[in-house]
Structure 1
Amino acid sequence: MLNYELQTINYEYRMMKPFYYLSDFPERRNVGKNFVAECPKCGKKHLSISRETGLYHCFYAGCDFHGRLKDFWEERRDTVRSDAGHPYSAGASPAAKRSFGKGEPGGMASASVGGGNAAFEVSMIPEDYKRLSPEIISKIKPLTDEPETSDPEQLAARRYLADMGISLKTAVDARIGCLMHRCFGGKDGKSGKGEKDEKDEKNAVGMMYHCIAYVNYINGQPVNVKYRSCDVSASGYTKCWSQESPTTPCPPYNIDCINPLRIAEENVPRLIVTEGERDVLTLHEAGYPYVISVPNGAASDLSKGFEAFRPWLDRVRELVICGDCDLPGRTLVKHLADYFGTRCLFTVLPGGCKDISDVLVMYGAGVVREIIDSACPHHTSDIITVSERADEIMNVLSGNYDHGYDVGYGPLTDHVFHPTDQGGLIIATGKPNSGKTDFLNDLTCRLMAKTGRYVCYLSFEVPDKNKHMANLIRLMLGKVNTAAYTREQLQPIVSFLDGHMAHLDLHEVSPTPANIIERAERVKRAVPLKYLIIDPYLFMEVETGRYNTETQAIKAMLTQMQAWGRTNGIWVIIVAHPRSLKKLNGKNELEEIDMYTISGSANWANLADFIFSISRIEQPDRSYTRLDMLKVRDQDLCRTGSVLFVRQPCGRYDERESEEQIMTEMQGKVLDKDRLPWVGLTTP
């Protein structure tokens, strides 16, 4: 009797200790990054102690003995890790630390993480979840594996689990319960709150069903329970449910499986996230230990449901998102992907299977494992692997790829400008009145007539669209005066241009990059657009301001245009003027134009795929236009260099080999000129 009393006194003394040291647990067992020791409160060897943080917690049901070892109290509070479940973490604001323990119960002070004023926010921690009441726990019968049981709740639960492909051992290990309970079916079993359904009065008050109970634990303590009916109906099993949770939001089901105090690994290599509790059992049946389901199915608010467990989830290397195939399930998968980011892998279910539990019933655990083990990231065009492009690479090595096309001037021009149908960004520059727009008219007419490409103009320099189109018809004909042509003779060219070009007129909207692309998209949807001409950039509106300089705005615009062009196989040609050119050492001559003399930003040079300048040379013994190709990004088909052109009165440009050739031509030598119509007509 005396020994018993002494033991009682010693036990009570231990319970009265205000704090504990690691030395108070000399018989601790080393388990990975944690210790396991005997609990001073319940006497069971279920006390887990973190070697890193000094946090301890007893996982024996009903004990809930927890705290921090005095050995770790000497650490500065602002260096305590956030995964310790404490607001005094390195990432917490001073105001949040001051507000801890004030206001809301459980140490919450306006805890609305993700929005509002961060100075008054404190995230939930696992310890904020209250235990289920003893009254609730007492109603739930733990599922047993007794072979001779005659209990109707046990038998109903076993029958349901067997039909779902879940073994009794898996269910018992998951601490599934069973009972008779009132559940609410709602329409299609989707209402668990007992709202009144005028079509079915029974749903308004609920009915008593045989149920299985998914009891959820945090730190080994039951914190919420969801009841699922398991009675057989004419269409299978009933789909009614209800739940009890003293704390909101509900935590993810089985979240305790990644509790840092319960796992030996430093990090969880792979966690599977499902939509429902039954899916968790399915994956346990297939042999996966780390599985959770979202708190409230497809309707879950992830930021709230996962808030208290972010430090736990941060220890997970990969997350396999194993969602349902219906529309709510696919929506949840998208939200999970946005929430967890690049760590996510995704599953593909066989046809006819709504979820992974259907796979278990129809095909067995082997196929479930095959699906989970083959989970992979969503395909994205941002990441290109060699295997994805193996055939295309072999074609390039064999010489089978887009070798580009002649633009219609001749071999000299083809040597410096030989585009493909890849699309991208072309910059045309030159001094004012150097003939940039005039040359582009000729170039685009040749592209339409000789290569069949479709061109869209956004020409601020040519406000009269009728005159512009008429000028293009003269270029097609090679004539200055078209007065002698009848309407019938001109109609074929008008029809040809109607099938190969369009104009944009942005009088009603601002000429921002987004508005230009939006209208070019309309053209692209109707015709096979290959060239978009913006002449000039000066009239475009880009967003500048205190935090966005002209250089940054030009870079954003060029990047947007280039990306759109490459995505759609369209060349965007932008005419850009040079900055104010400097005089050369006291001479009247101005510096030469190059890639970096374009006004506004060096990004013109950095981002363009082609850059060429147009210069007009007017001298007594020679008169010509020079194209200087200043940049060629892909030099497989052409190179930088210069080409000389003479201009015909109709506006066509003919390439020439040298200044000497141009000089002899001006003295009367007859050289070849491109005079024939580009569309089949009979000249009167």
Structure 2
Amino acid sequence: MKPFYYLCDFPERKNAGKNFVTECPKCGKKHLYISKTTGVFHCFSSGCDFKGKLKDFWEERPSYNSSFTGTAGDKFMGTHYPTHNIRQERESGNGSGKATSEVPMIPEDYKKLPPEVFSKIKPLTDDPETKDQNQLAARRYLADQGISLKTAIEARIGCLMHRCYGKDEDNKSTGTMYHCIAYVNFLNGQPVNVKYRSCDPSTIKATDEGETTGREKAAGYTKFWSQDSPTTPCPPYHIDCINPLKVAEETVPRLIITEGEKDVLTLREAGYHYVISVPNGAASDLSKSFEAFEPWMNQARDIVICGDIDLPGRTLVKHLTDYFGERCLLTTLPGDCKDISDVLATYGIEVVHEIIESARPQHTADIVTVSERANGILNVLHGEYDHGYDVGYGPLTDHVFHPTDQGGLIIETGVPNSGKTDFLNDLTCRLMAKTGRYVCYLSFEVPDKDKHIAHLVQLMLGKVNTANYTQEQLKPIISFLDSHMVHLDLHEVSPTPNNIIARADMVRRTLPLKYLIIDPYLFMEVETNRYNTETQAIKAMLTQMQAWGRTNNIWVIIVAHPRKLTKLNGKNELEEIDMYTIAGSANWANLADFIFSISRINRQDSNYTRLDMLKVRDQDLCQTGSVLYVRQTCGRYDERESEEQVIAEAQGKVMSKDHSPWISLIES
């Protein structure tokens, strides 16, 4: 034996993907694997454990590497590292701020099974003449599970008589001796733990007619366990299958994780090589169990989780999904099978293949497939979809504003005193009266709620003076409004986006809310600081409002003021309002589904209001454009085709107006 080795010391090496395989100078067997990229080498012959790092690859490094490449091998060859990269964690609960050091485990930390334990385990053989009852009991059990003797021998399964216990047995000293199979777990080619599983039949059923096996078939087997493991926690069973020195590929395309060791055998029987099981079944602490092997698992592109369908099994699947995140693919088992081993025994290998190959990512509403929407797509192609509804003004308004019940974000803007709130009162009153939609107001501009609701009654009637109406005449309208609107006042909480949505959600859960009016944004409280600018805060608020609206099919209308407008070329005229003149952020324009501005035009020959629809996200039902309105004294707005019509009306021409009470349009 030499103190150091170079790559040239192994001239007869063979390529094995990203590694070399050659003869071990210690044991003489051709089980020495050498990493081409790191120079780490390890002999996987049981009992040898020759390991290290080629001197060609030696280098001084300032930090400790917990991956397989270069840890124990460097210590074996005497390489010195200046410091360890020690994880610092604060002691919890003492408030002292004292730091404690914790070094993560690496694969070389696992101790080998003691010789006295390992020597008791008999390797399975395929000797057809054997009379050994342990061999025969193990063969019978495996055959009834659908696992061939060849697969079991390749997995280095053992057998013996051993003392095992049931899961409810408290006193381990009273365990019973059973025929057992032994799941010996190898790490870096060395046995590091073993789990014993009793394989004695618990019930027997007669063989089917025509069966030529010459023996009765076991209908069930005892389920008693014990284990020997000199290191805690145990490593995952079959973990050596993804040992970087044994993996030829640059990337493991798919690693399957099961709950138990038998499931690993099942999947090996089905031809899957990269399969491991969690160390302690559904009760495993994943962070501790996988800590030493994270670099190994990082080789895997996808993690297929093949768990049991009982409650502990589903809980483990959830924990594994949380641990591995977006790499996870989940399997679906037949309803009459508890685990993948049941699938093999009941339906055979082809169904096992089908289950593994059809593993899919965890379902999330964030990912929409075509198949999920097939019926909806066909409905659209046949014209069967939400075509929106008229808001109650007429065809000119419908051309620029024709909403559906999808919900989303609507922004209204305009200079101060342009009639934004006044127009919204008319719009929302029409939505209630003519379409039956439910409206929630958060109106900072109208603190007197009685006056606001009284104005909506006047709009319903089309009258300014309602003093001559009796209580009996007015109560039906008030009752209608009571069933179609509500106010938020926010005396108990500040008007943050979260609080507004929380209060609106209280309305939504009990009432058919379709519109939430926030008038104006100026009074909302969004969090800004050195790390969160006004632009970022507005984007977050708009995104939150839009997402809530779309999720719940509610239109959120926010009134937002423009920034200070500049004068045009020194004239007394101001620049035109557009999507990007709204104060605070360009995200108003980016995130809104509709944006419209309201302007009051005061001329010597006429006065009118203009609505400019500045943005329409879905232009299938309406487009951008402008509509002119003449305001009635009661607050109703009547659309007009042109300025000429407005001027003619101002000069006395009789034009159509919406005078009729809207209460009569409401279906009882």
- 1:663 equivalent among 635, 640, 647: 647
Identity %: 77
Is 1:37–2:22 an aligned residue pair? Answer: yes
SS at match of 2:185: strand
- Provide the TM-score with structure 1 as the length reference: 0.87
In the alignment, which residue of structure 2 is the partner of 1:478?
462
In the alignment, which residue of structure 1 is the partner of 2:105?
124
String of CA shifts for 1:618-668, please: whole Å, max 9, x gaps.
Answer: 334322221111111222222222211111121111111222322222222
String of CA shifts for 1:547-599, please: whole Å, max 9, x gaps.
Answer: 11111010011011111212222211001112223334444443332212211
- Distance of aligned partners of 1:117 and 1:33 in 2 relative to their CA distance in 1, 3 Å threshold: farther
- 1:161 equivalent among 142, 146, 150: 142
- Distance of aligned partners of 1:461 and 1:243 in 2 relative to their CA distance in 1, 3 Å threshold: farther
Cα displacement (A) at 1:79: 11
In the alignment, which residue of structure 2 is the partner of 1:214?
183
Is 1:225–2:194 an aligned residue pair? Answer: yes
- Distance of aligned partners of 1:440 and 1:278 in 2 relative to their CA distance in 1, 3 Å threshold: same
Distance, in Å, in 2 between the alignment partners of 1:133 and 1:240 is: 23
Distance, in Å, in 2 between the alignment partners of 1:243 and 1:359 is: 26
Distance, in Å, in 2 between the alignment partners of 1:111 and 1:587 is: 67
Distance, in Å, in 2 between the alignment partners of 1:372 and 1:657 is: 65
In the alignment, which residue of structure 1 is the partner of 2:122?
141
Distance, in Å, in 2 between the alignment partners of 1:147 and 1:632 is: 80
**Deviating runs (4+, > 6 A) in structure 1?**
78-82, 115-119
In the alignment, which residue of structure 1 is the partner of 2:155?
174
Is 1:60–2:45 an aligned residue pair? Answer: yes
Aligned residues: 640
Is 1:278–2:262 an aligned residue pair? Answer: yes
Cα displacement (A) at 1:63: 0.5
Distance, in Å, in 2 between the alignment partners of 1:111 and 1:281 is: 40
The answer to whether the 8 A contact 1:87-1:97 is kept is: no
Distance, in Å, in 1 between the alignment partners of 2:614 and 2:112 is: 73
Cα displacement (A) at 1:681: 8.3
Cα displacement (A) at 1:432: 1.7
In the alignment, which residue of structure 1 is the partner of 2:318?
334
Task: Give the residue type in structure 2 aligned to 1:223.
Answer: V
- 1:381 equivalent among 365, 369, 376: 365
Task: Give the residue type in structure 2 aligned to 1:215.
Answer: V
Distance, in Å, in 1 between the alignment partners of 2:337 and 2:426 is: 60
In the alignment, which residue of structure 1 is the partner of 2:11?
26
Note the 1:312-331 alignment, pairs <5 A.
312-331=296-315
The answer to whether the 8 A contact 1:85-1:126 is kept is: no
Is 1:449–2:433 an aligned residue pair? Answer: yes
SS at match of 1:23: helix
Cα displacement (A) at 1:303: 2.4
The answer to whether the 8 A contact 2:66-2:104 is kept is: no
String of CA shifts for 1:245-288, please: whole Å, max 9, x gaps.
Answer: 22222211101011121232222222211111111011111121
The answer to whether the 8 A contact 2:65-2:71 is kept is: no
Task: Give the residue type in structure 2 aligned to 1:516.
Answer: I
In the alignment, which residue of structure 1 is the partner of 2:538?
554
The answer to whether the 8 A contact 1:423-1:571 is kept is: yes
Distance, in Å, in 1 between the alignment partners of 2:71 and 2:249 is: 25
- 1:304 equivalent among 288, 297, 300: 288
- Distance of aligned partners of 1:429 and 1:168 in 2 relative to their CA distance in 1, 3 Å threshold: same
In the alignment, which residue of structure 1 is the partner of 2:230?
246
- Distance of aligned partners of 1:395 and 1:37 in 2 relative to their CA distance in 1, 3 Å threshold: same
Distance, in Å, in 2 between the alignment partners of 1:35 and 1:477 is: 90
Cα displacement (A) at 1:297: 1.6
Cα displacement (A) at 1:427: 0.4
- Distance of aligned partners of 1:110 and 1:208 in 2 relative to their CA distance in 1, 3 Å threshold: farther
In the alignment, which residue of structure 2 is the partner of 1:577?
561
The answer to whether the 8 A contact 2:66-2:105 is kept is: no
- Distance of aligned partners of 1:341 and 1:287 in 2 relative to their CA distance in 1, 3 Å threshold: same
Is 1:509–2:493 an aligned residue pair? Answer: yes
- 2:591 equivalent among 590, 594, 607: 607
> Please, which runs of 5 or more residues in structure 2 have no aligned partner?
74-79, 204-218
Cα displacement (A) at 1:88: 12
The answer to whether the 8 A contact 2:88-2:100 is kept is: no
Cα displacement (A) at 1:423: 1.5
Cα displacement (A) at 1:390: 4.2
The answer to whether the 8 A contact 1:613-1:627 is kept is: yes
Note the 1:628-643 alignment, pairs <5 A.
628-643=612-627
String of CA shifts for 1:46-94, please: whole Å, max 9, x gaps.
Answer: 1111222211111111110011112222x564799875434699xxxxx
Cα displacement (A) at 1:518: 2.3
Task: Give the residue type in structure 1 aligned to 2:5.
Answer: Y
String of CA shifts for 1:500-537, please: whole Å, max 9, x gaps.
Answer: 22222322122222222222223222233221111111
In the alignment, which residue of structure 2 is the partner of 1:50?
35
In the alignment, which residue of structure 2 is the partner of 1:429?
413
Distance, in Å, in 2 between the alignment partners of 1:462 and 1:477 is: 21
Task: Give the residue type in structure 1 aligned to 2:446.
Answer: V
> Please, which runs of 5 or more residues in structure 1 have no aligned partner?
1-14, 90-95, 101-107, 188-193, 197-201
The answer to whether the 8 A contact 1:36-1:45 is kept is: yes
Task: Give the residue type in structure 1 aligned to 2:127.
Answer: E
Distance, in Å, in 2 between the alignment partners of 1:253 and 1:340 is: 18
- 1:619 equivalent among 590, 603, 626: 603
Is 1:72–2:72 an aligned residue pair? Answer: no
RMSD: 2.8
The answer to whether the 8 A contact 2:60-2:81 is kept is: no
SS at match of 2:404: coil
Distance, in Å, in 1 between the alignment partners of 2:588 and 2:479 is: 37
Distance, in Å, in 1 between the alignment partners of 2:325 and 2:82 is: 32
Distance, in Å, in 2 between the alignment partners of 1:208 and 1:466 is: 85
Cα displacement (A) at 1:118: 11
Task: Give the residue type in structure 1 aligned to 2:36.
Answer: R
- Distance of aligned partners of 1:78 and 1:385 in 2 relative to their CA distance in 1, 3 Å threshold: farther
- Distance of aligned partners of 1:62 and 1:681 in 2 relative to their CA distance in 1, 3 Å threshold: closer
